Amino acid sequence: MRVVFMGYMGSGKSTIGKKLARVLKYEFIDLDEYISDKERASIPEIFANRGEIYFRKKETIYLNEILSSKEDVVLALGGGTPCYASNLNTIKASEETSSFYLKLSIPSLVKRLFLEKQNRPLISHLETTDELSEFIGKHLFERTQFYNQAQYILNADDLTQKDILEDILLKLI
């Protein structure tokens, strides 16, 4: 079985994904880290030196590689992965794959991301929580139509990590 997490940056895809992989005794893969390892460059370096189009093409190639060659894996996608190329259709068509959208409200995402914005190139230039809120709102407006096509949508605002894991495990049974 493959479990795929999608959602906006800061939604907990990697955190929950690692915990779920430990419980299930599956391999955990963060797609952005996988791309960085394969390309021998960080995501910001790839964007700066090769551009977003190059990155998105590689993202699709590596997503296909993982879904076609890995079994018993928990995969955390990048925030934009399901929104580009045929990535969402590939995920939905992949046999024995369950997809989860970790959904958080804009205020919850702002609260999480503002404290760590220096570590996130897309938002490091934003100075205030209002700017960050507007930025996230714009992205979610564009991306929600893709995220909502996940097999399961978890409204995670008021849930603990334990609650989220239990909910996911119940859905996988």
20: domain CATH number is 3.40.50.300
- Percent of the chain exceeding pLDDT 90 equals 88
Q: What is the C-alpha separation between 45 and 47, in angstroms, rounded? A: 5
Say if residue 121's pLDDT is above 80: no
Q: How confident is the model at residue 86 (pLDDT cuts 50, 70, 90)?
A: very high
Taking alpha carbons only, the member of 139, 171, 142 closest to residue 154 is: 171
Tally the domains of the chain.
Answer: 1
The whole-number pLDDT of residue 47 equals 87
pLDDT at 156: 95
Q: Tokens representing 59?
A: 């993202």
Residue 119 in this model has a pLDDT that exceeds 90: no
The Cα-based distances of 141 to 50, 77, 81, 133, 164 in angstroms read: 27, 18, 15, 12, 24
pLDDT of residue 124: 86
Q: What is the pTM (predicted TM-score) of this model?
A: 0.95
Q: Looking at residues 42-65, what average pLDDT do you find?
A: 93
CA dist., res. 118 & res. 57, Å (int): 26
Mean pLDDT of 29-33: 97
Report the Cα 67 to chain-centroid distance in Å: 15
State the pLDDT at residue 73.
98
Q: What is the mean pLDDT of the chain?
A: 95
Domain span at residue 56 reads: 2-172
Query: What's the pLDDT score for residue 104?
Result: 97
The arithmetic mean of pLDDT across residues 122-139, rounded, is 95
Whole-number Å distance between alpha carbons of 87 and 44:
21
Whether residue 70 is predicted with pLDDT greater than 90 in this model: the reply is: no
Is residue 127's pLDDT more than 90? yes
Q: What is the pLDDT of residues 89-112, one digit of tens each?
A: 999 999 899 999 999 999 999 999
Range of lowest pLDDT (26-30, 48-52, 127-131): 48-52
DSSP line for the chain: -EEEEE-STTSSHHHHHHHHHHHHT-EEEEHHHHHHHHHTS-HHHHHHHH-HHHHHHHHHHHHHHHHHH-SSEEEEPPTTGGGSTTHHHHHHHSTTEEEEEEE--HHHHHHHHHTTGGG-TTTTT--SHHHHHHHHHHHHHHHHHHHTTSSEEEE-TT--HHHHHHHHHHHH-
Residue-level pLDDT at 94: 93
